[in-house]
Amino acid sequence: LQKELMGLMMSTDEGVSAFPEGENFFKWIGTITGPQGT
């Protein structure tokens, strides 16, 4: 899971983010932003 976190942190994909909730690597909070107006 740490590998996936590093990949997300280094990603250049705009509108996509995900991070563990606090210290718990098994519960993540993610956001995906769609195109404007959707």
Residue 27's pLDDT is 92
CA-CA distances (angstroms) from residue 10 to 4, 6, 18, 26? 10, 6, 12, 20
Length of the chain: 38
| pLDDT at 12 > cutoff 80 | no
Give the CA diameter of the chain: 35
Phi-psi region of 17 (alpha: psi -120 to 50; beta: other; left: phi over 0): beta
- Mean per-residue pLDDT over the chain, rounded: 85
Q: How confident is the model at residue 20 (pLDDT cuts 50, 70, 90)?
A: confident
**What is the predicted pLDDT for the residue at 13?**
76
Cβ(28)–Cβ(20) under 8 Å? yes
